[in-house]
Amino acid sequence: MKNLFDQTRIKGTMLDNRFVRAATWERMAEEDGTVNDRLIEVYEDLAKGGVGLIITGYAFIMDDEQPNPKMMGMSNDSFIPGNAKLVKKVHEHGSKIVMQLAYGGSQTRYQTEDRVIFAPSAIRHPRTDVMPKEMTQEDINMVVKAFAKAAQRAKTAGYDGVELHGAHGYLLSQFLSPEFNKRTDKYGGSLSNRMRIICEIYEETRALVGEEFLIMIKINASDFADEGFTFKECQLTCQELASLGFDAIEISGKTPPETKKNTESVLADYAKVIAEQINIPVILVGMNRTPETLHNILNQTHIEYFSMSRPFIAEPALVNRWKVDHKTAKCISCGQCYHPEGISCVLK
């Protein structure tokens, strides 16, 4: 029988347990994206708290592009020393850490007047009202290189890997989605065209970071939208990305329409199907709250890891607690963790 506290490895990276801290934008970096002591403390607390693998909040990869304020940056070499300090603290406590890299695109309300905002197609964003610029081949090449260079810097800083943010409506998930991607060139139309930018980022990154450094991706199980990326397409995409060489896939996304709000481990049925189809680890995210439920999923499916965001804001030492006390996470999933001064929890 498999156990949540099994030591396992993803490629060569040994993990102390199957718990992952899902990427969480803390809103705590300096305005320019530099890591500071407050942010280091957040990561040190998570590592001390026993999290096997920590995924950072999404980091921006180009100096003039960030979807939200006070994100961490990895867009130039000046970010390496601060991140090296952060990674060292995490490693001292035995956790592993990968940096999530993101290009925001039109899903933003942050400084939208001052910068060029790229998207697969020039479609006004239905929620943010941002009108983006359709990317040319040169723009795509630039973004592909920016992801790869940011990953290389993350490696220099000592990170164990990177995770591409391919979910939640940001640029890479817009490429996957027929709703946002109306291109008629080799980046639009068929599913293999829509995933091309992700494949190019993978190849460019792998060439810079070598074989051992982890390259993971977070992806929507489905957009659950009329014209969006479907679950079937997600399955095919995951199969392709796994055979390309990605080291793990985190299955994410909104609550499926047929599901009640706050259903525990809400995407387990979707991630389960994907985990049966690919031979790299699947990480399940979204409303993971109760060790018994996770233990059952672990043993009844091929899902190998469980990531959480909000429960760790409420209880950074949750993993250590679960070693001795199996009560459900204290997090009430209220979503009030977003705070202009940085993530916080109403329970604290």
Ligand X SMILES: Cc1cc2nc3c(=O)[nH]c(=O)nc-3n(C[C@H](O)[C@H](O)[C@H](O)COP(=O)(O)O)c2cc1C
Q: Compute φ and ψ for 293, nearest 5 degrees.
A: -60, -45
CB 291 within 8 A of CB 261: no
Stretch that binds ligand X, among 8-16, 33-41, 162-170, 182-190 (CB under 6 A): 162-170
CA angle 260, 263, 265 (to 5 degrees): 140
Min dist. Cβ of residue 261 to ligand X (A): 11
Residue count at the site for ligand X (CB under 6 A)? 23
CB 82 within 8 A of CB 46: no
Work out whether 66 is an interface residue with ligand X (CB under 6 A). no
Work out whether 219 is an interface residue with ligand X (CB under 6 A). no
Q: Look up residue 66 and give its amino acid.
A: Q
Between 76 and 336, CB nearer to ligand X: 336
Q: Which residues are catalytic?
A: 170
Work out whether 316 is an interface residue with ligand X (CB under 6 A). no
Work out whether 216 is an interface residue with ligand X (CB under 6 A). no
Instruction: Burial-class residue 129 by CB neighbours within 10 Å (0-12, 13-18, 19+).
Output: exposed
Work out whether 29 is an interface residue with ligand X (CB under 6 A). no
Work out whether 310 is an interface residue with ligand X (CB under 6 A). yes
Please report, in angstroms and rounded to a whole number, the separation of the first and last CA atoms in the chain: 36
Question: Hey, which residues does 99 pair with through a beta bridge?
Answer: 162
Min dist. Cβ of residue 289 to ligand X (A): 8
Contact pattern for ligand X over residues 233 through 262, marking x by CB under 6 A: -------------------x----------
Q: Compute φ and ψ for 347, nearest 5 degrees.
A: -80, -10
Work out whether 89 is an interface residue with ligand X (CB under 6 A). no
**Among the listed residues 89, 153, 155, 165, the single contact to ligand X using CB under 6 A:** 165
Between 184 and 260, CB nearer to ligand X: 260
Min dist. Cβ of residue 189 to ligand X (A): 27
CB 104 within 8 A of CB 80: no
CA angle 50, 150, 218 (to 5 degrees): 55
Work out whether 23 is an interface residue with ligand X (CB under 6 A). yes
- Return the exposure string of 275-291: e unless at least 16 CB atoms fall within 10 Å of the residue's CB, then b: beebebbbbbbbbbbbb
Binding site for ligand X (CB under 6 A): 22-25, 57-58, 100, 165, 167-168, 218, 252, 285-288, 308-311, 337-338, 343
